[in-house]
Amino acid sequence: MFIDTHCHFNFPAFATDLDNSISRIRKAKIASLIIPAVSADHFSQILKLTEQYDELYAALGLHPIYQHSHADLEKLSDIVSTFPNKLVAIGEIGLDRYDISVDYQQQLTFFRAQLNLAKRYELPVLIHSRKTHDVIYHELRQANLPCRGVIHGFSGSYQQAMQFIKLGYYIGVGGVISYTRANKTRHTIAKLPLESLVLETDAPDMPLSGRQGQINRPENIVDTFNILCQLRVEDYKQIGKTILTNTLTLFNRINKMKIQNQIY
């Protein structure tokens, strides 16, 4: 039984054929998936989806490479303050220095504001970080969030990963581990504490090796899990059980009882 902690299920690749998409994730034994927002325009759409289907949960946030206004931040704050039934995190938020055309100082301002929001309402965060691991670490240490969160799409070093883990954060394991050329990431994921890992797809992005140019789908989390089992020394049952426990511990607003009933 799997939980995809990061899937853009509101994107057209899935939203234009929702019944089929839901049928496919159920067949793949995906108990739940979390849909992170990238802009304020997505908030209502994501919340509506989560009310339509039991498996879907929401993370609301302002992605660093998109343009946002302070009105968007106020909208986010207003929605979070109402505690929507299936809101489980603030995300996708963070910093990105890969695209130098994006105003970095504005990114930092919005990131800090959203960390404060997560702290105020005791919600975990989904962190986007490209070429910013050291700064992100500093900001998270300063913020001292009560519920911590996930470093999404991690591709840094073992030392950087352990810094985040020592702060109480989880590392998101996705399709990058399917690429044999990603030796650093594969070796890092193989060595990290199993109790600090969660699974994600970032669908429809981040396709697995051999599927470049194809739409990544949440069902591919099964393949990512199988690759993870090849990299780790633990038994696959232990890996599956531990990662599920990690996910439900972090995202404590997911309906655990419903998932346990599905398993047993």
Number of C-alpha atoms within 13 angstroms, CB side, residue 186? 14
Measured distance CA(253)–CA(85) in Å, rounded? 9
Query: What per-residue string of b and e applies to 154-170 under the rule 16 or more CB within 10 Å gives b?
Result: bbbeeebbbbbbebebb
133 a known binding residue? Answer: no
CA distances from 231 to 86, 128, 214 (A): 34, 24, 25
Peptide bond into 84 cis (omega under 30): no
- Lateral strand order in the sheet of 56-60: 2-4, 30-36, 56-60, 87-96, 125-130, 149-152, 170-173, 197-199
Residue 213, amino acid:
G
Measured distance CA(146)–CA(246) in Å, rounded? 16
Measured distance CA(83)–CA(204) in Å, rounded? 28
92 a known binding residue? Answer: yes
The two beta strands, 30-36 and 2-4, are parallel
Best CA proximity match to 72, nearest among 85, 83, 62, 84: 62
8 a known binding residue? Answer: yes
128 a known binding residue? Answer: yes
152 a known binding residue? Answer: yes
CA distances from 218 to 11, 65, 181, 233, 259 (A): 12, 23, 23, 25, 17
63 a known binding residue? Answer: no
Residue numbers in the known binding site for a divalent metal cation are 6, 8, 92, 128, 152, 202
Residue numbers in the known binding site are 6, 8, 92, 128, 152, 202
